[in-house]
Structure 1
Amino acid sequence: AIQLNEKQKVRFMYGISEKQFKKLVNDSAKMKGVHGENLLILLESRLDNLVYRAGFATTRRGARQLVNHGHITVNGKKVDIPSYRVKPGDVIAIKENSADHKGIEIALANKIKRVDFINYDEAKRTATYVRYPERSELNAEINESLIVEFYSRV
């Protein structure tokens, strides 16, 4: 029951369906390194999450909607898939004709603290995903080993 609760907590935190979450767990198992940390890296590498982390939206749900509605570009190309996997070096930006979007304005005005694995350019209003995050930079309340255990016995 503890494992299920942990999985559900993280799923709802990132706003992901069970099917998508299970795919991320399976993909993280195929990567080199620690299974649980790889899962968190894949979760953090989602476009909707990075839009939220960059400060373009106040919530992950709001970020997901910005992506869905075509307000976000990755490396200059419009991407409207929230689960799009961003790679280090990719540049996330607000589409030119979406620059005066009210929600984005409010989010950018209220964003105080940004994460170290994203470089935000105030003038260009772009965010560069510099590198994969370290475990220490992510939510300490997540016990990823419980999630891995949950799926290993299913």
Structure 2
Amino acid sequence: MSRYRGPRLRITRRLGDLPGLSRKIIKKSYPPGEHGQKPRKPSEYGIRLEEKQKLRFNYGLSEKQLLRYVRLAKKVKGSTGQVLLQLLEMRLDNTVFRLGMAPTIPAARQLINHRHICVNSKMVSICSYQCKPGDIISVKEQKKSKELINKYLAFPGLANIPTHLEIDKNNLTGKVNGLIEREWVALQLNELLVVEYYSRK
């Protein structure tokens, strides 16, 4: 299954607020579709599926990518759910978004693909690059790149920058100081249900 490229507001109406996917405000309180105004009680499987879909659409992953992250998280010592969230939060596209350099994760992905972002003074065009503590994220020394980032920094996607990141708006650089803590994850979900969903795969 490829990355979702359809209407984003439809997804946020169905799954709730996804800060990484879209900044649009939901005006209708019921889900999309013909039967949206006739809510049904979801099954146990349906609840787990919804939590998994929140994670997938917020971070802009394909099903195959998310499954790979879950398998990687299971191999690491500690809570699988928290390790999974840390792996996803430390992706370069999400780090650029959380620093305020892009309004959404898809916008951050475009900045990286178009070679506007450097990590430790080296050009990186891979969105899934795993940032490590001590990494310096900077903007390419080009007028167009700096103008674009300054425009985005004036209206960041999220109000607060997590404690594991710091940004210097004058020099347009960000630094990763450590791993993100669970309370700073902007997405509202139960990660244990995602692990349970994939436990049979």
User: Which TM class, normalised by the smaller chain length?
Assistant: over 0.9
1:113 equivalent to 2:157? Answer no
Structure 1 residue 21: Cα displacement = 0.8
Give 1:41's match in structure 2, choosing from 40, 65, 86. Answer: 86
Q: Which residue of 2 aligns with 1:133?
A: 180
Decide which structure has the larger Cα Rg and report it. Answer: 2
CA distance in 2, matches of 1:127, 1:147: 31
CA distance in 2, matches of 1:66, 1:120: 17
Deviates more, 1:132-141 or 1:8-17: 132-141
| TM-score, with length taken from structure 1 | 0.94
Deviates more, 1:6-15 or 1:108-117: 108-117
Deviates more, 1:74-83 or 1:24-33: 24-33
- Which amino acid in structure 2 is aligned with residue 9 of structure 1? K
**3-state SS of the aligned residue for 2:167?**
strand
Provide, for residues 87-108 of structure 1, a one-character-per-residue CA deviation record: whole Å limited to 9, x for no partner.
111011111112122xx22211
Structure 1 residue 122: Cα displacement = 2.0
Provide, for residues 100-152 of structure 1, a one-character-per-residue CA deviation record: whole Å limited to 9, x for no partner.
22xx2221111342221101112221110111011111136211000000111
**3-state SS of the aligned residue for 2:147?**
coil
- Which amino acid in structure 1 is aligned with residue 171 of structure 2? K
| TM-score, with length taken from structure 2 | 0.73
CA distance in 2, matches of 1:113, 1:42: 20
- Report the structure, 1 or 2, having the larger helix content: 1
1:14 equivalent to 2:63? Answer no
**3-state SS of the aligned residue for 1:92?**
strand
Q: Answer 1 or 2: higher relative contact order, Cα 8 Å, separation at least 6.
A: 1
Q: Which residue of 1 aligns with 2:100?
A: 55
Q: Name stretches of at least 5 consecutive residues in structure 1 with no aligned partner.
A: none
CA distance in 1, matches of 2:197, 2:147: 44
Q: Name stretches of at least 5 consecutive residues in structure 2 with no aligned partner.
A: 1-45
**3-state SS of the aligned residue for 1:83?**
coil
CA distance in 2, matches of 1:140, 1:91: 25
Provide, for residues 50-93 of structure 1, a one-character-per-residue CA deviation record: whole Å limited to 9, x for no partner.
00001110011100100111100000000000011111110111
CA distance in 1, matches of 2:47, 2:188: 13
